[in-house]
Chain A
Amino acid sequence: MAVSVPKTQKGAVVEKPGKDAKAVVKEIPVEEPQEGEVLIKMVATGGTN
């Protein structure tokens, strides 16, 4: 089953963790799953706080 997965993606990266933390959207590599792991295409995400 051929599935096309890009080499890079957009992701929110935290800069300066701590009180001055800022999330910056960057172009980052798509990680390679290791044995026992699965690659998941995100369709929704959320959080609290």
Chain B
Amino acid sequence: MPYRLAFAEGRLESCHDDASSRWWTRGCRPHCQIGPWRNESQDVYTIFGAGLICRGQMVGIKAVWSVCGKCEECKDGEDALCSNGVSSGAHKSGTFQEYAIGPASYVTPVPDGIDPLIAAPVMVPPLWCTLC
């Protein structure tokens, strides 16, 4: 039977390594869906979706755990098709656990007032089984 492990809603509770602790004491970190990365040829930052994540912010881990932000697909905004994408539940531990790790630059902030049970399935792109 195909079996899929992935896709979560979570609440940032702790970053208990030194680097992250220092990070959080500086306050919110800039967040964007991919990057921002430096586009050397155009000397601009390319950002797909921008926002902030802070400790306690509800976020989602997507089926695609992380992307490179550098390949043609990413640059075209097709990050779900990133050729270097890392898959949640297959390449990385999934979300059928009490605490999961996510990349700060690629978790998706969930707006206040959204029921996590509603938001969780939204983290599934019509893309890959992560484990099947």
Interface residue ranges, A against B (CB under 8 Å): 1, 3, 5-6, 9-12, 14, 17, 21, 23, 28, 30-49
Contact = CB atoms under 8 A, between A and B. Distances in A.
B107 A40 contact: yes
A16 B126 CA distance: 26
Interface residues of B, number: 49
A39 B12 contact: yes
Given A17-B131, A21-B131, A41-B98, 19 more contacts: A6-B99, A14-B131, A31-B93, A31-B99, A31-B101, A33-B15, A33-B16, A35-B17, A36-B103, A37-B104, A38-B12, A38-B101, A39-B13, A39-B99, A40-B59, A42-B10, A46-B7, A46-B124, A47-B7
Contact of A34 (B17, B59, B97, B117): B17
Nearest to B117: A44
B45 interface: no
